[in-house]
Structure 1
Amino acid sequence: DSTTIPWDELEEYEPEDEEAEEEEEIAPEKTEKQKPVKAEKVKKVEDDEMEVSFKDTNAEYAYPPLSILGKSAGKPAVGDIKAQANLIKRTLQNFGIEVEMDEVSIGPTVTRYAMKPAEGIKLSRIVALKQDLALSLAAHPIRIEAPIPGKSLVGIEIPNTVKSSVGLGSLLEEKEYQGSEKNLLVALGKGVTGRAYFKDLAKMPHLLIAGTTGSGKSVTVHNIILSLLYRNSPDELRLIMVDPKRVELTLYNNIPHLLTPVIKEPKKAIMALRWAAKEMERRYDILEGHSVRDILSYHDNIMRPWYEEHEGEELEGYPDKPEKMPYIVVIIDELADIMQAYPRELEAGIVRLAQMSRAVGIHLILSTQRPSVNVITGLIKANVPSRLALQVASQIDSRTILDGPGAEALLGKGDTLFQGSDMNKPE
């Protein structure tokens, strides 16, 4: 019993409002005492900091030039491709596996050798020889795709001896990005074939990013944010950013897209999620009133036609004008820090939004460098189907983020596996 005394004493020094929130059902009288304080704080966040302004800002907002972004640099060096292919074939033959070598794809960090196994060869036999192939090729780590998605081939990915860097400026110059009408198209990098890789956040519809220190997680988050800023004015997109570390996202504090200054305290992060849930309900009421199914239908059939019809007019004289409804993206840079302080509230807030917010244009981007089951809970995983995995410390962490191995063998510095909601395997 004596060991519990220090813990009781420590609890007395915890913030009263936090303790009341955690023990709401056990101590109702304490919760009641704290209600005015909590209500006042929530009101301040909602009314002062979280208020959405739908003022026309298109004329004022100048899109930043692509010239300020870094471009891709260097060419990957892969060594003797033919010799490597023959070595793979010979190694497999030594174990009684006949294969026919096929295409070779050279990416920024790895080269993929595709091959077609002879009839009757089980793919599990090839996968089991991963360590033997790594030894023969003097390459570590290697990755085996069995099969390559969309092809009847097996792929072996070998790290390049010299890697090329992928600049965001080069990605955003691609026709696929420039010619797209999708507001939430984001650049994720280049694939193993060397082609630029873009995904639509509206279809994801939420994204979970995990990677250990030095894996390139923060750079990935910045690239996604910049991809959104280069496509959308403040009338089209608003952001809520949560940065408990105080050093990653605070540099965005002066951009006009923010609904509130970058949030640094865990408690305010919970308040922001609650505000987003209320905004979601409000938007559903608007969609219901106009008899449309989602935000895209609202923009195409209600909002845009009305503003085109009244272009050049003084809009103050139309009290019934349709409300401009920008997309809202909530970005939380380090999930673990908030999960330690408010585990139940954070999980409930994320799950509430993830289940229903897609149709009204509210999306979540969550990142963590600790992809453990205590941080990425089963409920969060079930409701955030799109995952972006960078290098992690162990296969257990890889299974937590991707439901399978692979992320522990990534090379770091931006090497990534993406698994979308419509994909069976990461790529």
Structure 2
Amino acid sequence: MSSDTEMSSAEEIAVVIKKERREKKEKKDKKEKKEKKRAKAESKAEVAESDSEDVAETPAKKRKREALPEELEIDVNLPEPASKKAARKAKKAKLNPTPAADADGAAPVVKTEAKTDGNSAEDRENAAKRSEYGVWIGNLPWSATKESLRKFLTDNTEIPDDQITRIHMPPPTRPPPPSWTTKPMNKGFAYVDFSTELSMYSAIALTEMKMDNRALLIKNAKSFDGRPDKPKTEETQDNGRGAKDAKPKNPPNKRVFVGNLSFDVTQEDLKNHYAPCGRIDNIHMATFEDSGKCKGFAWVTFRDVEAATAAVKGFVFKDPSAFKNKKDKDESDSEVDTSKPVKQRKWLVNKLMGRELRREFAEDNHTRYHKRFGHEKEGADGENAGRERGFGRGGGGQRGGRQDFGDSNGGRGGKRKVDPRNIKSGAAHMSTQRASQAIVESQGKKTTFD
């Protein structure tokens, strides 16, 4: 019993000791927290005091600018400041000094764009060189220089060298394209002054003469007209597309070629379209074999040459009565004033279905046929004897109405020229030689594949 009581008392003592230690630790923690709070509060108070002292020491910033003095002193004797452009030029001159600069490194004098009074030596010299007898030369080759132009004028005219007082050829300002191999020496034009009027007109007479394969344009320097038109020495013919040919391709005849037709055009459309020009004898239209539609061209044969000429020109003159309706015609017939001349109106036949037609005189039937199928050889006398023989009726060169293009002795024993237009469809394939279907004989070669 004594041992049990001793154990219980020892346990109670241990519990009391642990409790006391816990209490001491809690008190210590509370004390440390209070000290930390007090230290923080003191530090905040110190910071606030220091901020208030700084604010009190620094004055407030001024929001308004200080007032400028009322009077400004300007020295009138000082030179005028250079413009921005002149300043940039001066800066470039300093960065890239010219060879004419002094050895001490002095920068060259830069000319400003200030207006001069015209009394400088250079201005006086240029004014003395200019004269009233000047010419403008255009379309110059890029390789032309003042010396070559002076030599061109003196060599091709009787102008002495001392009468050419001035040659002004502006140099190019823009860099040449990278594809150019040579650098241009001018802008393509020049001004040349002479001392006499005769020299000026002698130079103008050289216009259209070529210099390095370029036709020069030389005119009075005071003239602003362009290049004159070339004289029309040959008859021109409108080809139906706005352009004009220098010479008609074929002489005027009754047959007219019409091109640029629509695929939907028929012979009746062409007949009605060209009826105002005159009477039509025949219309031959090229058509597709499968659909029968127009290929885009045709030949129209008129009764007379005047009607064909009107079709080629693209218009025909008609009386105003042809443009009136039936009712207007009946009314106008009763009130016709025969004293006044009737002015004819132009009827255009150059378009069909909104398409500009190509119109020109066609070749003769025999000429066109010989160009396509008549490849005869020329005889000893230089004339084409086969042409007269082939197209003559009843000649010795005819066989059954077809032309025979054989030897010169009547065409016997030679090959007969066949007109392909008379061959029926599929006949050429039926008569052609067929390849052999037999087994190919061996040639003694053997092909092996690895």
Q: TM-score, normalised by structure 1?
A: 0.18
Judging by fraction of residues, say which structure has more helix: 1
Larger Rg over CA atoms: 2
